[in-house]
A and B are shown apart, each in its own frame.
Chain A
Amino acid sequence: MPDTITPGEKKLRVVGTRPVRPDGVPKVTGLARFGADYSLPGMLWGKILRSPHAHARIRSIDTSQALALPGVKAVMTAADLPEQKFEYVGPERTAANFWHMTRGIMAREKVLFEGHAVAAVAAISKMVADEALRLIKVDYEVLPHVIDVEQAMQPDAPLLFEDMITRGVEPAPDKPSNISKRIEFKIGDIEAGFAAADKIVENTYRTKPVHQGYIEPQACLARFDADGQAELWASSQGHFVIRALTSRLVGMEVGNLRVYPAEIGGGFGGKNVPYVEPVALVLSRKSGHPVKIVLSRDEVFRACGPAAGSVMTVKIGITKDGKIVAADGVFTFQAGAFPTSPVMNACMCGFTPYDIANVRSVGYDVVSNRPKTAAYRAPGSPISAYAVESTMDMAAASIGMDPLQFRLKNVAKPGTQTVWGPKHTHEGFAETIRALMQNPAYSTPLGKNQGRGVAVGYWFNNGGESSANVHVNEDGTVLVATGSSDLSGTRASMALMAAETLGIDYDKVRAIVADTGSIGFCGISAGSRTTFATGIAVVQACRKVIDELRARAAMIWDAKVEDVVWEDGCAKRAGKGPGEVETLPIKAIAAKRTVTGGPISAEVSVNAGGVAPGFAAEFCDVEVDPETGAVKVLRFVAAQDVGRAIHPALVEGQIQGGVAQGIGWALNEEYIYDDAGRLANPGFLDYRIPVASDLPKIEAVLVEVPNPNHPFGAKGVGEANIVPSLAAVSNAVSRAIGRRMTELPMSPPKVLRALDPQRGS
């Protein structure tokens, strides 16, 4: 690990070490409890009936036979969920429309994709529930459907919403379409910029929707009591947000719903929103029993949002010495059956690594008959980075410049204006590119049919609302409770930061994730925010506890609190003799807690700002088999500015995980639909995520340029790493075969087609 502690800075004791994570043993012994592992007496099984059609009007639903089946305790349809007002609310980037959201939970007037939930049952066994689903009669009027994003934009395309007028266009169109929204960001004068360019490169790219690939399907257990109080055990990326959305969709007050966080078996953005929780709660309310729902892998693929697919055109103008003078991108994203893809992120992130005076980013959000897209690791940014970084590679090659040198020459720095307005304020981009350039593997020679590709990528990172409670136990050990779901080992990070602040050993701190009834509000674990924002809350709570420990020590010593300092886990004051120091360790103060004022604890809630962005630079070497078109990734080196690695092993794991997902996105993964709009590969046998044997050793290079706004310098680390990966692989394949690849995934038939159109057809 690079030692970036600045001169004069106190050497850290435990931050930066690699202890065993607190959730490690239960996970490897099978004792950790995930969403499907919770049960209650009298529990029923919930099952969901799903549409066999990609697009159809629902004429009627007859549930009478299902309800009459012995063992069936409740049946629900969309009529059991309150209607929601049609309005976009919340952040522009991810504006929620509960009118859409309730129809996503359960179809009303129409089914909009194959797998769309239509009805649900609760029964005494899974077998009875399955039988009951077969007895529900749905009368459909099948409608023409559209899957592909470009076809969905055509004037004669089947409309998912007959009244949808494109937002963001002035004057507003007079006809409805599947284009939900147009957005644009612009700085400078792009016409003048391109006019000043010596060379202009332009290309069009396409990507397919890909799934987040979390191993654990959505699962929950709900109990609705007769007094209107309800409890929910669920696996999610944020139980407070699941509580907020579920209570609104079900029509209850937030305070009447308590959500307990289960361990989460992967999320990557796909578990930011509810799918099964409102259904289980309604079935529990109707049946008077606890209800458990566990989705199958098939249901996860068919109904739980993938990342968006896209078509994008990027144009870049450069001078002959390699300075970028203008950039223009049009990013069209497939949102799935309901509006709001992450196209705004794509527009904001794509060119942000660079110092370019004249930039325009235009985005289109388009609906089609697929499941609604969900966030996926730096949502939107890897997709636009694929197009931008591919075009950057072409630009560098056009003037014979090393592709990393080209990026370094144009990299953004503090003071550079982003296309979305503000100027950059944090260092780290250039340092990360230099770290990659200095990696010895970057200069190793390549063999026949091999290519090396580079790319960089930007992600905002995030802060926001978090709460933490720190309690000194009776024996001097410490409990740290937060409301942040632990996706990536953040309990270990919280414990490390608490131990560092308190001056005690890591193994004296136990970090837990508390439920919505036991801790203040915490935002979702997304946007690479948890170690930054919740970490600030933990450190501030520890500091309050230290103040209290000093006060208790002063009481024990009959001293003034100003004369007591806290060092190395002990209260200290000057002794009677010269140079003597009296100490009271935390354990001794805890033992006297009763007579000095009772329990010693502090809770802090923050709205953390001062976020520093994430930046990654990566290169990979690939070899292409000219006979089969198969691509083997030989080497992957990923450098990322992590601010400060609180737990370096977990940070390296995040980088390796992001890159592995990026390789799958680049080479193999895609949703395949048949002519009827039905998904043909809803399982891991046919939807091929990379396995260990597909991957090389992924070398993670931790670049530490501390964020001055975090007590230990942390920046977010979970997302920036996937941003360049797609483009790095594509650039490597393109260089290996000597032809520009413009479509993902680069499966063997596509590579063969690029090599020889006759063979790949």
Chain B
Amino acid sequence: MSEAPARVVFTSDFSDRYTGGVKEFEIEAKNLRGVIKALDELCPGLGEHLEEETTVAIDGEVQDVGYYQAIRPGCEIFFIPKIEGG
């Protein structure tokens, strides 16, 4: 039985730079490693940018991008600019 894929969303800036303007993807994966790998296969080189430049919000919970982050079927994944402060 196939599970609902995760919905992956990029900011406009990021999608303009790296995915030819495509902002949303549907990816089946058990963890963030699988998501990044699948996206890198769709857009070669994208994985490195995701790992170095973004933070991820999984169902709204902001996390650093880590391979080990679990992905729930049907969840929302937003790759957003990495945050640094003062």
Contacts and interface: CB of A to CB of B under 8 A. Distances in A.
Interface of A: 89-95, 168, 170, 183-186, 212, 268-270, 272, 344-345, 348, 375-379, 414, 420-425, 459-465, 524, 526-529, 607-611, 709, 719
Interface in B13-64: 13-14, 16, 52-54, 57, 59-64
Contacts of A607: 64, 66
B85 A421 contact: no
Nearest to A416: B60
A88 to B, nearest CB: 9
Contact of A268 (B57, B59, B69, B86): B86
Contacts of A463: 62-64
Contact of A526 (B61, B69, B85): B85
A464 B78 contact: no
B11 A462 contact: no
B15 to A, nearest CB: 11
Contacts of B63: 463, 609-610
A421 B80 contact: yes
A611 B86 contact: no
B76 A423 contact: yes
Interface in B69-86: 69, 76, 78, 80-86
A168 B12 CA distance: 10
Contacts of B80: 420-422
B81 A422 contact: no
A421 B84 contact: no
Contact of A719 (B9, B13, B64, B86): B86
B86 to A, nearest CB: 3
Contact of A91 (B11, B57, B84, B86): B84
A526 B60 contact: no
B13 A183 contact: yes
Contacts, number: 114
Nearest to B68: A607
Contacts of A420: 11, 78, 80-81
B12 A272 contact: no
Contacts of B64: 463-465, 607-609
Contact of B62 (A375, A422, A526): A422
Contacts of B85: 269, 375, 377-379, 459-462, 526-529, 719
B53 A90 contact: yes
A529 B84 CA distance: 9
Contacts of A379: 85-86
A272 B86 contact: yes
A345 B82 CA distance: 10
18 contacts: A89-B52, A90-B52, A168-B16, A184-B13, A185-B11, A185-B12, A344-B81, A348-B81, A421-B9, A422-B76, A422-B80, A462-B85, A463-B62, A526-B84, A527-B84, A607-B64, A609-B62, A611-B62
Contacts of A89: 52
A185 B64 CA distance: 21
Contacts of A168: 13, 16
Q: Which 3 A-B pairs have the closest CB atoms?
A: A269-B86, A527-B85, A609-B63
Nearest to B82: A91
Judged by DSSP, the binding face of B is mixed
Contacts of A270: 86
A300 to B, nearest CB: 16
Contacts of B59: 425
B61 to A, nearest CB: 5
A378 B83 CA distance: 10
B83 A377 contact: no
Contacts of A421: 9, 11, 57, 78, 80
B84 A610 contact: no
B13 A610 contact: no
Given A212-B86, A421-B9, 4 more contacts: A91-B53, A94-B82, A422-B57, A527-B85
B78 to A, nearest CB: 4
Nearest to A88: B53
Determine which residue in A90, A272, A608, A611 has the highest number of CB atoms from chain B within 10 A of its CB, and name it. Answer: A611
Contacts of A92: 13-14, 53-54, 81-82
Given A91-B54, A609-B66, A424 B12 contact: no
A422 B9 CA distance: 9
Nearest to B9: A421
A701 to B, nearest CB: 22
A684 B34 CA distance: 54
Contacts of A527: 83-86
A213 to B, nearest CB: 12
Contacts of A461: 85
A465 B65 CA distance: 11
Given A375-B85, A379-B86, A460 B60 contact: no
A345 B61 CA distance: 18
Nearest to B23: A421
Nearest to A168: B13
Nearest to A415: B60
Contacts of B54: 91-92
A172 to B, nearest CB: 11
A610 B86 contact: no
Nearest to B69: A609
A726 to B, nearest CB: 15
Contacts of A462: 83-85
A463 B57 CA distance: 13
Nearest to A421: B78
Nearest to B57: A422
A611 B80 CA distance: 14
A272 B53 CA distance: 18
Nearest to A422: B57
A461 B11 CA distance: 20
B16 A170 contact: yes
A378 B13 contact: no
Contacts of B82: 90-94
A459 B78 CA distance: 18
A425 B53 contact: no
Contacts of A170: 16
B16 A424 contact: no
